[in-house]
Amino acid sequence: MINASLKELSAALAGKRLSSVELTTLFLDRVERLNTTLNAFISIDRSKTLDMARAADVRLAAGNAGPLTGIPLAYKDIFCTEGWLTTCGSKMLSNFVSPYDAHVVERFKSAGMVTLGKCNMDEFAMGSSNETSFYGPVKNPWNTGRVPGGSSGGSAAAIAARLAPAATGTDTGGSIRQPAALCGLTGLKPTYGVVSRYGMIAFASSLDQAGPMAKSAEDCALLLNAMAGFDSRDSTSLERPAEDYARDLDDPSQALRGLRGLRIGLPKEFFGEGMEPGVRAAVEAALAEYRKLGATTVDISLPNSGLSVPAYYVIAPAEASSNLSRFDGVRYGYRAPEYADLTEMYCKTRAQGFGAEVKRRILIGTYVLSHGYYDAYYLQAQKIRRLIANDFAEAFRHCDIIAGPTAPGTAFEFGAKSSDPVQMYLSDIYTISANLAGLPGMSLPCGFDAGKLPVGLQLIGNYFDEARMLNVAHRYQQVTDWHQRMPEGLSI
């Protein structure tokens, strides 16, 4: 059951082979046994969770259930969940019990999913290793001396260790895709505007997107169907006709055709130096598999992609400096215990409540937006953002989907990149440009390196092409079994 797909779990629940309470208990017991080692969860509440499972069982008995009803789901601790702590991995919100649910949470609740708990994450989503959390680092279940990736590290570790069958993550510069790659999972960042950001604590508003993380593309499609859609409370939410993201997966004519006719673009900038040999080998093997399925590969170029990391590290901190200015000890969250006046209250609250990486990014953002520097840095970065988006538009004239490695390496050791922030930032070198352009991106597992650490293949699609991307991933997952592998020693 812990290895079952969402479809299999749904069938088991519908066929009364087990109840939601039994299924949920199975996962809660695993969390209890393994969370002290992995630190994937910040908040667990057995009693609230089982209440939801009981309610799901009532729906299942009444024949009032959908494809996700009764299945447990873990939430990255950036989503507001009414009555539960929502900490964002920070001391600043370590006492914050949200008075409302995020839109994504409301949708999953109405689909009948059972809240399993709140997952650990890099503080305020700023990080690529889950080492910046106030609640301590998360361990990679494949090798507990190594990072799971970030910022959705807890969500990734939870699924990899089979503590949860699925989880939500958020992706601003790669924070769903990179941990999915480092933990051997499938994760998707939708086109910007497809999933509502209402109730999702903001880091960089023009880049943030919520998305599903699970063991397969098929699972992600089911989750995306529940998450996606217009929400009037998010001013950047797009009004579009509803879509079934799983529509190509079950289509027999798709199965027959394979991927014949699909042109996969390989950006030369994503295959240059800087990729570990183990990553290169696994990605090349995946591409060979895609050719067997009938796809052709096309060489393309994204000439400005080398500027994506610097452009991101102007834009994201700038937006973060604005978004995090609300944390001042007045209406919610941490307040410094001692201060002489209001200004000191703000300054001490923020100095004490935020960790070092968060403060660094706020300072960078404040500087690039300040008088005299705005044009030179922020405006320039936004123009470069346009160049990067234009590169993709040009590339998509020659291919249907873009592929490459998700990350330059596999899971690294704790502390390996924390002394040099720039080193850490370069972990996102392949993922960041999709956020800047607003394009959908996915990572799926495609093998292991010599150290038995997972490698992720990244797919970047054109705007609103999630259904095709999920199908392209699914066809590969039907002829390979990387996505079904599980870390050793955790099968109890």
Q: What is the footprint of another protein within residues 205-264 (CB under 8 A)?
A: 206, 232, 235-236, 238
Q: Is 129 a catalytic residue?
A: no
Rule CB under 8 A: say whether 379 interacts with another protein.
yes
The CA R_g of the chain, rounded to the nearest whole Å, is 21
Which of 198, 313, 448, 476 is the binder for another protein (CB under 8 A)? Answer: 313
User: In this structure, what token pair is assigned to residue 193?
Assistant: 């505007």
Token digits of residue 432: 């960041």
Judged by beta carbon, residue 227 or residue 316, the one nearer another protein is 316
Instruction: Please pick, from the candidates 229, 265, 438, 447, the single residue that binds another protein as defined by CB under 8 A.
Output: 438
Give yes or no for a contact between 240 and 464, defined as CB atoms under 8 angstroms apart.
yes
Smallest distance, another protein to C-beta of residue 370, A = 6
Q: List the one residue out of 133, 149, 276 whose CA is nearest residue 141.
A: 149
Q: Pattern 333-362, binding to another protein, x per CB under 8 A?
A: --x---xxxxxxxxxx-xx--x----xx-x
Q: Round to whole Å and give the CA distance between 186 and 190.
A: 13
Which residue in the list 10, 20, 43, 175 is annotated as catalytic? 175
User: Of 298 and 416, which has the nearer Cβ to another protein?
Assistant: 416
Q: How far is the CB of 152 from another protein (least distance, A)?
A: 20
How many residues belong to the site for another protein (CB under 8 A)?
72
- Which x/- pattern over 260-299 shows residues binding another protein (rule: CB under 8 A)? ----------------------------------------
Q: Given candidates 364, 395, 457, 473, which one binds another protein under the rule CB under 8 A?
A: 364
Binding residues among 101-140 for another protein as defined by CB under 8 A: none
Q: Residue 205 or 480: which CB sits closer to another protein?
A: 205
Q: Which of residues 22-81 bind another protein (CB under 8 A)?
A: none
* C-beta closer to another protein: residue 21 or 460: 460
Sheet of strand 263-267, all strands in order from the earlier edge strand to the far edge: 41-43, 114-119, 72-76, 166-171, 209-214, 186-189, 441-448, 454-461, 401-405, 263-267, 296-300
Q: What is the largest CA-CA distance in the chain?
A: 73
CB of 343 closer than 8 Å to CB of 349? no
CB of 100 to another protein, least distance (A): 8
**Residue 387 engages another protein in binding (rule: CB under 8 A):** yes
Using CB under 8 A as the binding rule, the residues of this chain from 452 to 481 that contact another protein are 463
Q: Which is nearer to another protein, 142 or 313 (CB)?
A: 313
- 437 touching another protein, by CB under 8 A: yes
Within its chain, how far is the Cα of 221 from the centroid? Answer: 14
Cβ atoms < 10 Å from Cβ of 272: 9
Q: Where are the alpha helices (DSSP H) in 201-268?
A: 217-227, 252-257
Q: Whose Cβ is closer to another protein: residue 216's or residue 305's?
A: 305
Paired sense of beta strands 209-214 and 166-171, if any: antiparallel
Q: How far is CA 63 from CA 27, 57, 184, in A?
A: 24, 10, 35
Return the DSSP state at 100: S
Q: Is 307 in the site for another protein (CB under 8 A)?
A: yes
| φ/ψ bin of 232: left (φ > 0), alpha (ψ from -120 to 50), beta (otherwise) | alpha
Q: Given the DSSP bridges, would you call strands 166-171 and 441-448 parallel, antiparallel or unpaired?
A: unpaired
Q: Burial, 220: exposed, middle or buried (Cβ in 10 Å; 0-12, 13-18, 19+)?
A: buried
Query: Pick the catalytic residue: 133, 151, 308, 321?
Result: 151
Q: Is 96 in the site for another protein (CB under 8 A)?
A: yes
Residue 310 found at the interface with another protein (CB under 8 A): yes
As measured in angstroms, the least distance from the Cβ of 461 to another protein is 13
Is 76 assigned a catalytic role? yes
Q: Which residues contact 112 (CB under 8 A, 6 or more apart)?
A: 55, 56, 59, 65, 66, 68, 69, 70, 71
User: How is residue 232 written in tokens?
Assistant: 């009037």
393 binds another protein (CB under 8 A): no
Residue 243 or 250: which CB sits closer to another protein? 243
Q: Which residue bears the tokens 């990255």?
A: 76
Q: Using the rule CB under 8 A, is 372 a contact of another protein? A: no
Residues 173-192 that bind another protein (CB under 8 A): 191-192
Active site includes 348? no
Structure tokens at 470: 């999920």
- 412 lies in the site for another protein, by CB under 8 A: no
Task: Name the minimum Å distance from CB 267 to another protein.
Answer: 19
- State yes or no: residue 94 binds another protein (CB under 8 A): no
Asked if residue 134 lies in contact with residue 161, where contact means CB atoms within 8 angstroms, the answer is no
List the catalytic residues. 76, 151, 175
